[in-house]
Amino acid sequence: MEVISLRRNVLQRYDEIARENRQLFNSKNILVINLLSSPGSGKTSIIEKTLEKIGNSLNVSIIVGDVQTTNDAERISKFNIPVVQLITNGACHLDSKMIKNALDKLELDNIEILIIENVGNLVCPSSYDLGENMKVVVFSTTEGTDKPLKYPSMFHRAEVVIINKIDLIPYTNFSLEDAKRYVLQLNPKTKIFETSCTTGEGVGEWCEWLLEKMKNINATK
């Protein structure tokens, strides 16, 4: 019982910090995306393609979480935008306190969209609120059609699901129809995009939706 109480107290404190983060983001009219996936699904590639499409029209900053390396942050830095690298040293997720500390390294008044690239994991990150506006889950066609059923908590919380690497479907037994059905069974309100970072297919639709989201935030200023 003591262990359970300790865990509850720790999570409660993280939730309090998440609320503080959210209040700060809202006061600055920043759209914050918590980008989640298992390793290798293409999170960083999605960010790169997104920046290619909207990087010149909006002020975007990135927080990158990784267990050890700075590889992803180095890839994104070529776009000459603010990037903060968080090394978790083995932790399987980012938490709200890590994000709060990272914000000290960013000029919040100059940010319109903040993308948080979480650690590659579909289990632990689902339990941690970072103060984001939405969770966006990426999974690829090489991971199997039943990925949403295996990790229901993550997909249940997702406002957006990006099914990536659709160019590889002919070389797999992946069923796009079934995968979309599984996602919507868990959350009928989830917006689904089908993308390929190799061919560029579907990236435009995702970016247009994102720009519309940003317009709605600007309209409230």
Distances (CA, A) of 91 to 87, 149, 214: 9, 24, 32
Strand ranges in 13-159 using DSSP code E only, listed in sequence order: 31-37, 60-66, 83-87, 113-117, 134-140
Quote the CA–CA distance of 218 and 81 in Å, as a whole number. 21
Residues spanned by the domain of 20: 2-219
Closest among 108, 30, 43, 31 to 73, alpha carbons compared: 43
pLDDT of residue 95: 94
Would the pLDDT of 28 be above 90? yes
pLDDT of residue 3: 42
When pLDDT is cut at 50, 70 and 90, the band that residue 124 belongs to is confident
pLDDT of residue 71: 83
Distances (CA, A) of 67 to 75, 86, 111, 135: 16, 8, 26, 20
Q: How many domains does the chain have?
A: 1
When pLDDT is cut at 50, 70 and 90, the band that residue 46 belongs to is very high
Q: What is the CATH number of the domain that holds 64?
A: 3.40.50.300
117 contacts 98 by C-beta, under 8 angstroms: no
> What is the average pLDDT across 159-179?
98
